[in-house]
Amino acid sequence: MVDLLLECGAEVNPPDLLGPSPLLAAVKSHQVGILKKLIDAGARLNYSAPHLKLYRSPLFVACVERCPEVISVTLDSGGDPSWADPAWYTPTLLAYQLNSDWLPRFLDAGAGSTFRQRWVLTDVLTCGILKGDLTCVTLLVARYPDLVFLPHKLWSLPLIQAARLGKLSILRFLLENGAPVDALAGHLGEAALHAAASEGYVECVEALLRAGADVDRKRRDGLTALHIACLEDRKQLAELLLDFGADANTYDLNSGETPLISTILARNEAMGLILLKKKEKGKLDPNMQDSGGRSALSFALYFGMLKCAQQLLVEGADVTLKDETGATPHDIMLDRLRKQGIQRRLCGTIERLKRNRDREIGQDKASQMRKEREKKRSGIRRETSGDLSSSDFTPMAPRGQWGSGCPCPLSIFSCSNGNGNVGGVQSRSGKQKDANSRPEGGRMFEEGARGGAVVFSESAGVGMDFRSSDFHSFRFQRETGGTPDGGTTA
């Protein structure tokens, strides 16, 4: 009957894809002979109908019917293994899901052979990783090595998929075939190390680290694998990461929390003690603060995690660190512990550290004040010139009008000894000496700033403080020019 109809010119392609189709009828009834005759008569195998949600290609229907002979005839006749329905479901993926032995036949027929169609094999690879089918993964990567770099639209990169699912053998195979170990993908911007850590697959994490994964690689939100291990309470994983040199001082980008702070906020004291005991390997700084200025000690005292607080004090946590509100761990101790009358020893330790810190701050302030005084005195210059004559001095104030607190600057003056005899100037004793009569080896005073101290010069006479009682209350001003013989008497 079919032959007669075909000889009479019956139409093999239906006018409406939603209507009955001779080709689909032959596929569903497994009539291989009729199927071949229809194909030879010009029946089309690869209609593209994305607007029709219920339409399926003959090859897709053959896979649904699970008839290998019909599948082979359809593929040999040009059926497209990369055809997709409106949900992007392909005959190749369906065939692999139903029977993985059919996959080589579809690959030979050209499934995903072009780069634009490689997504077809990406779907199959993802399915193979999910099933733990190393044979499928090996077959696909051997034919198309670039598959290890292509992400799935939902499941991310193949290596991240294997890490998240804990497929250790597939993960090692992908690493051996060039899969990028630190590549970030997915809506979280995570690497394979983050995916394995979030699911607690210690062996996968170790394999990634030995393959060169960055132990401190951050996700898009700033979390590291150590953050994730602490938040998920993966103690063995945290110890492994610390053994590989994970930095315990890294902070996330949302709240600036370090792994230790995140652990204390999660009320996980056991994990906190692990981080503190592994401080040498994790380079733990007990004084790290979050975005609000709060330290791990502040949180430990606030939440009553006293073992962590005690260990933090042993590690040198500062009890005077202020947060953005001005509160310190010492303040929290007073509010949360001392009022309740618990942990007197811990409170005593914090009080002692607080006193020591206050003493250090006081010493620092005193040292700073000394430095400021020395800085003020640094304006005084040393005089190393030769002898000066009495013409270098001019009286500027009468006797008794310049006391020890006078702000008037003194320029340059000299004396012969410490008995009040001033060279070129009349002293309290009423004697007057010439400026050139200074003994050798004496000293000269010079005042370089208002109210400053006296500096000695080895080339002048023996020096005396100009504010002592042996001097008259004069203001002298140095002048330039000639050198008269006598000095000026006040």
CA separation, residue 439 to residues 205, 417, 423, 429 (Å): 86, 8, 10, 19
CATH number at residue 134: 1.25.40.20
Residue 446 lies in a domain: no
- 49 and 85 co-located in one domain: yes
What digits encode the pLDDT tens for the residues 400-418? Answer: 444 444 444 444 444 444 4
Do 404 and 467 form a contact (C-beta atoms < 8 A)? yes
Residues 335, 306 contacting (CB under 8 angstroms): no
Report the first-to-last Cα separation within the chain, whole angstroms: 147
Structure tokens of 423? 């060279």
Question: Do residues 86 and 138 share a domain?
Answer: no
What pLDDT is recorded for position 194? 96
Q: What is the mean pLDDT of residues 224-247?
A: 93
Regarding whether 118 and 101 lie in a shared domain, the answer is no
Give residue-wise pLDDT tens across range 350-368: 666 666 666 667 767 777 7
Query: Among the three residues 91, 111, 131, which one is the final residue of a domain in this structure?
Result: 111
198 and 129 share one domain: yes
- Whether 6 is in a domain gets the answer yes
Number of domains in the chain: 2
pLDDT band, residue 170 (cuts 50/70/90): very high
What would you measure as the largest C-alpha separation in the chain, in angstroms?
A: 154
The reply to whether 107 falls in a domain is yes
Counting every residue written for the chain, the total comes to 490
Mean pLDDT, residues 338-356: 58
- From 194, 214, 234, the end of a domain falls on 214
Would 471 be classed as within a structural domain? no
Q: Is the domain of 104 the same as that of 11?
A: yes
Q: What is the pLDDT of residue 451?
A: 43
Q: Which of 181, 214, 247 is the last residue of a domain?
A: 214
212: its two tokens: 């060169």
Backbone angles phi, psi at 432, to 5 degrees: -130, 135
Tens digit of each residue's pLDDT (9 = 90 or more) over 30-44: 888 888 888 877 778
Does some domain include residue 80?
A: yes
Measured distance CA(465)–CA(451) in Å, rounded: 12
Question: Domain span at residue 172?
Answer: 113-214
Taking the alpha carbons of 465, 471, 475, 480 in that order, is the dihedral positive or negative?
A: negative
Question: Is residue 23 domain-resident?
Answer: yes
Radius of gyration (C-alpha) of the chain in whole angstroms: 46
Whether residue 8 is found in the same domain as residue 53:
yes
Do 105 and 158 have their domain in common?
no
Distance in angstroms (rounded) separating the CA atoms of residues 323 and 292: 6
pTM, 2 dp: 0.66
> Looking at residue 208, what is its pLDDT?
97
Give the helix/strand (H/E) hosting 362.
helix 344-377
Question: Which pairs count as long-range contacts for 460-467, CB under 8 Å and 24+ apart, including other chains?
Answer: 460/383, 460/387, 460/388, 460/414, 461/414, 461/415, 461/416, 461/417, 461/423, 462/415, 462/416, 462/417, 462/418, 463/415, 464/415, 464/418, 464/420, 466/410, 466/413, 467/404
Q: Given this model, what pLDDT does residue 352 score?
A: 63
Cα–Cα distance for residue pair 409/396, rounded to 1 Å:
11
